[in-house]
C-alpha cells in the first residue's frame, strides 16, 4: 500500500510545485527554500550530534510543541533539537519563539528519497510528531534508520478517524511504526485503538496546551499594550485566527455591537498572512476606520478596527481582549486553541465547529468560561450580552484560568514517557 502511495506522490510533485508557486503570489515565502522540501539543506555545526526531531506542521502545532521544546532544551542540552514545519506561518512562529536555539528546516515532502536524505543529514535518535502528523514514508524510514517515533499530544477527531478508516490498511501500517502514543484524552485513545493501534504503546497524558506559561516578559509587554490600547476604559473584541467566510460574520456582528457598545474596538487577526490585505480592504469597504498593527500606531478614539497583520503576536494580542471570538469555528474548519485566551482570563465565544478541540471546549463550556454557539448567526446577540456585562466576563475569565490551572502537568508526564528513548539530561548552563 505504501508503494502505491509513494508512486502517486511522485506523480503529483509537479502539481505540488505549482501549488506552492500559486500560493506564493500572496505569500512569497512559499517559493523560498523549496529544496528543503526535497530533503536538501546544510546542517550547521557538527553533524554527529545526538538529535531530537520535533515535527509541528503549522502555527497551531508549533505553539502546542513550544512548552515541550523548552523542556527538551533544558533537560537535554547535549542534544540538537530540530523542529520542522510545513508552512511559512509555522516557520515564522518558530523563529519568533526560539530564534537560533533550535535548528529549523522545512519538513521534507513524504517522498522516499526526500525523507531518506533528511534522515541521512540529521540522523535523529527520536522523532516527536505533534497531534495527528502521520506520514507513511516519514514513519517507515525513520524507524528503519533506528529512530524511535512518538506521537505526542495526540488527538483524533471523529471526522479524522473516519478519514483514516477509509485507508485502513495504510493507517494500520503507519500505526505499527509508533513506539509510543501520548494522547490528550480517553476518547482520542479509543479512536486510535479502533484504527489498529496496539494498546501497549498508548498512554493518556493530557493536553500539553494546558502547560502554557505566561512569562514575566510577556506579562510586562501585555500591560504596556493594554495601556496603549486603553483597555481599561474601552471594551475590546478580539477575533482570533479568522478564516475566509468568517470576517464578514465578524464585521456584521461588530456593527450590531457598536449600536449598543459604541466605543468598542475590534482587533481582527486573520489566520494567514496572505489574507491581510484582503481583510483590510473588506474592513475599509464596510466603512470602518482601520489601523494596522504592523504600523506600530496605537488606535485612537476615532479608530474602529485594529488589523492584526503581524506574525507571532497572537498570544500577546489576546491579553487586551474583553471577549475573544475564536476563528475556524464559525466555518467548518475545526476551531483553534482557546486555551491561550483562557490563560489570560478572557471569556471565549466560538461557533459550532470546534471538532479539533472537543475536549478542551467541553471543559471550558462546563466551567462557564466559554460560550459555544449552536449557530453562527447567534454571534451578534451573544457578543452584545457579554460586552454589556463586565462582571459576567470577569467570572467567565476566572473560570477559564481555573480550568487551565487544574489541567496542567502533561509536559511532565510526556517527558517521563519519553525517558527510555533519551539519555539522562543535564541542566543548561
Whether 275 and 314 map to the same domain: the answer is yes
At 30, is the pLDDT very low, low, confident or very high (cuts 50, 70, 90)?
Answer: confident
Considering the candidates 61, 70, 131, 340, report the single residue annotated as catalytic. Answer: 61
At 427, is the pLDDT very low, low, confident or very high (cuts 50, 70, 90)?
Answer: very low
Highest mean pLDDT pick, 18-27, 75-84, 220-229: 220-229
Whether 278 and 306 map to the same domain: the answer is yes
Whether 124 and 266 map to the same domain: the answer is no
Q: Say how many CA atoms lie within 13 Å of 53 toward its Cβ.
A: 28
- Which set of grid coordinates corresponds to residue 286? 464596510
CATH code (residue 49): 3.40.50.11720
Whether 259 and 361 map to the same domain: the answer is yes
Whether 168 and 298 map to the same domain: the answer is no
At 47, is the pLDDT very low, low, confident or very high (cuts 50, 70, 90)?
Answer: low
Q: What is the pLDDT of residue 44?
A: 80
Whether 241 and 201 map to the same domain: the answer is no
Averaged pLDDT, 373-378: 92
Neighbours of 259 (CB within 10 A): 9
DSSP state of 129: E
Question: Which domain range does residue 116 map to?
Answer: 24-206+409-421
pLDDT of residue 61 exceeding 80: yes
Please list the alpha-helical segments (H only) found in 53-199.
Answer: 59-75, 88-98, 112-122, 136-144, 158-166, 168-176, 186-194
Whether 151 and 288 map to the same domain: the answer is no
Q: What is the pLDDT of residue 88?
A: 87
Beta bridge partners of 238: 267, 324
pLDDT of residue 256 exceeding 90: yes
pLDDT of residue 29 exceeding 90: no
Is 131 an annotated catalytic residue? no
Flag whether 127 is in a domain: yes
Residue 229, helix vs strand vs coil: coil
Flag whether 71 is in a domain: yes
Q: Any idea what the Cα angle at residue 27 is, between residues 25 and 32, rounded to 5°?
A: 95
- The pLDDT > 90 percentage for the chain reads 82
Flag whether 185 is in a domain: yes
Number of residues assigned to the chain: 429
Tell me whether residue 108 is exposed, middle or buried, using C-beta atoms within 10 angstroms of its C-beta: 0 to 12, 13 to 18, 19 or more: buried
Flag whether 429 is in a domain: no
Flag whether 13 is in a domain: no
Flag whether 5 is in a domain: no
pLDDT of residue 262 exceeding 70: yes
Whether 244 and 372 map to the same domain: the answer is yes
Beta bridge partners of 54: 83, 128
At 57, is the pLDDT very low, low, confident or very high (cuts 50, 70, 90)?
Answer: confident
pLDDT of residue 45 exceeding 80: no
DSSP state of 315: H
At 429, is the pLDDT very low, low, confident or very high (cuts 50, 70, 90)?
Answer: very low
Q: What is the pLDDT of residue 121?
A: 93
Q: What is the pLDDT of residue 173?
A: 95
Q: What does the alpha-carbon distance between residue 246 and residue 278 come to, in Å, rounded to a whole number?
A: 13
Flag whether 8 is in a domain: no
Please spell the DSSP secondary structure of 349-380, one letter per residue: EE-S--GGGHHHHHHHHHHTSEEE-SSGGGHH
Whether 309 and 292 map to the same domain: the answer is yes
At 35, is the pLDDT very low, low, confident or very high (cuts 50, 70, 90)?
Answer: very high
Whether 231 and 141 map to the same domain: the answer is no
pLDDT of residue 93 exceeding 90: no
Beta bridge partners of 130: 152
Whether 188 and 249 map to the same domain: the answer is no
pLDDT digits (tens, 9 = 90+) for 115-147: 999 999 999 999 999 998 899 999 999 999 999
Residue 91, helix vs strand vs coil: helix
pLDDT of residue 423 exceeding 70: no
Q: What is the pLDDT of residue 280?
A: 98
Flag whether 9 is in a domain: no
Do residues 276 and 270 make contact, with C-beta atoms less than 8 angstroms apart? yes
| In the block, residue with C-alpha cell 486555551 | 339
How many domains is the chain partitioned into structurally? 2
- Which set of grid coordinates corresponds to residue 205? 497524558
- The pLDDT > 70 percentage for the chain reads 98
Q: Any idea what the Cα angle at residue 58 is, between residues 56 and 60, rounded to 5°?
A: 90
CATH code (residue 267): 3.40.50.2000
Q: What does the alpha-carbon distance between residue 373 and residue 364 come to, in Å, rounded to a whole number?
A: 13
Q: What does the alpha-carbon distance between residue 339 and residue 240 come to, in Å, rounded to a whole number?
A: 12
Q: CA of 206: how far to CAs of 23, 114, 268, in Å?
A: 36, 33, 31
Q: What does the alpha-carbon distance between residue 139 and residue 147 come to, in Å, rounded to a whole number?
A: 9
DSSP state of 32: S
Tell me whether residue 46 is exposed, middle or buried, using C-beta atoms within 10 angstroms of its C-beta: 0 to 12, 13 to 18, 19 or more: exposed
Taking the complete model, does pTM exceed 0.85, yes or no? yes
Q: What is the pLDDT of residue 49?
A: 85
Whether 31 and 123 map to the same domain: the answer is yes
Average model confidence (pLDDT) across the chain: 93
SS3 content of the chain, % helix, strand, coil (to 5): 50, 15, 35
pLDDT digits (tens, 9 = 90+) for 265-307: 999 999 988 899 999 999 999 999 999 999 999 999 999 999 9
pLDDT of residue 337 exceeding 60: yes
Amino acid at each position: 500500500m505504501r508503494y502505491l502511495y509513494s508512486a502517486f506522490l511522485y506523480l503529483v510533485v509537479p502539481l505540488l510545485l505549482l501549488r506552492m508557486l500559486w500560493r506564493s503570489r500572496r505569500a512569497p515565502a512559499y517559493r523560498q527554500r523549496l529544496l528543503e522540501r526535497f530533503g536538501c539543506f546544510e546542517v550547521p555545526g557538527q553533524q554527529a550530534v545526538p538529535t531530537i526531531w520535533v515535527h509541528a506542521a503549522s502555527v497551531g502545532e508549533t505553539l502546542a510543541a513550544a512548552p515541550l521544546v523548552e523542556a527538551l532544551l533544558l533537560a537535554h542540552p547535549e542534544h540538537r533539537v530540530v523542529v520542522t514545519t510545513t508552512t511559512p506561518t509555522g516557520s515564522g512562529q518558530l523563529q519568533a519563539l526560539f530564534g537560533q536555539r533550535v535548528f529549523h528546516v522545512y519538513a521534507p515532502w513524504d517522498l522516499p528519497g526526500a525523507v531518506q536524505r533528511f534522515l541521512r543529514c540529521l540522523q535523529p535518535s527520536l522523532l516527536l510528531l505533534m497531534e495527528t502528523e502521520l506520514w507513511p514514508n516519514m514513519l517507515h524510514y525513520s524507524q528503519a534508520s533506528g529512530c524511535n517515533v512518538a506521537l505526542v499530544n495526540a488527538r483524533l477527531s471523529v471526522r479524522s478517524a473516519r478519514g483514516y478508516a477509509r485507508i485502513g490498511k495504510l493507517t494500520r501500517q503507519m500505526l505499527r511504526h509508533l513506539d509510543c502514543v501520548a494522547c490528550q484524552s480517553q476518547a482520542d485513545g479509543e479512536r486510535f485503538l479502533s484504527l489498529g493501534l496496539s494498546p501497549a504503546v498508548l498512554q493518556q497524558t493530557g493536553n500539553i496546551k494546558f502547560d502554557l506559561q505566561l512569562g514575566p516578559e510577556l506579562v510586562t509587554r501585555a500591560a504596556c499594550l493594554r495601556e496603549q490600547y486603553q483597555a481599561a476604559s474601552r471594551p475590546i473584541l478580539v477575533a482570533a485566527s479568522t478564516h475566509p467566510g468568517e470576517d464578514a460574520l465578524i464585521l456584521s456582528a461588530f456593527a450590531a455591537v457598536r449600536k449598543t457598545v459604541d466605543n468598542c474596538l475590534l482587533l481582527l487577526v486573520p489566520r494567514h498572512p496572505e489574507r491581510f490585505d484582503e481583510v483590510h480592504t473588506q474592513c475599509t469597504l464596510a466603512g470602518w476606520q482601520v489601523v494596522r498593527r504592523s504600523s506600530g500606531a496605537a488606535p485612537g478614539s476615532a479608530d474602529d478596527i485594529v488589523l492584526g497583520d503581524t506574525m507571532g503576536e497572537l498570544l500577546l494580542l489576546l491579553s487586551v481582549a474583553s471577549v475573544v471570538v475564536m476563528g475556524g469555528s464559525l466555518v467548518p474548519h475545526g476551531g483553534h486553541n482557546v486555551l491561550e485566551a483562557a490563560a489570560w482570563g478572557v471569556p471565549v465565544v466560538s461557533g459550532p465547529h470546534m471538532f479539533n478541540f472537543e475536549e478542551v471546549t467541553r471543559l471550558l463550556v462546563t466551567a462557564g468560561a466559554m460560550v459555544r454557539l449552536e449557530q453562527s448567526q447567534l454571534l451578534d446577540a451573544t457578543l452584545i450580552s457579554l460586552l454589556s456585562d463586565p462582571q459576567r466576563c470577569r467570572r467567565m475569565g476566572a473560570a477559564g484560568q481555573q480550568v487551565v490551572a487544574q489541567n496542567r502537568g502533561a509536559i511532565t508526564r510526556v517527558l517521563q514517557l519519553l525517558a527510555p528513548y533519551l539519555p539522562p539530561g543535564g541542566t543548561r548552563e
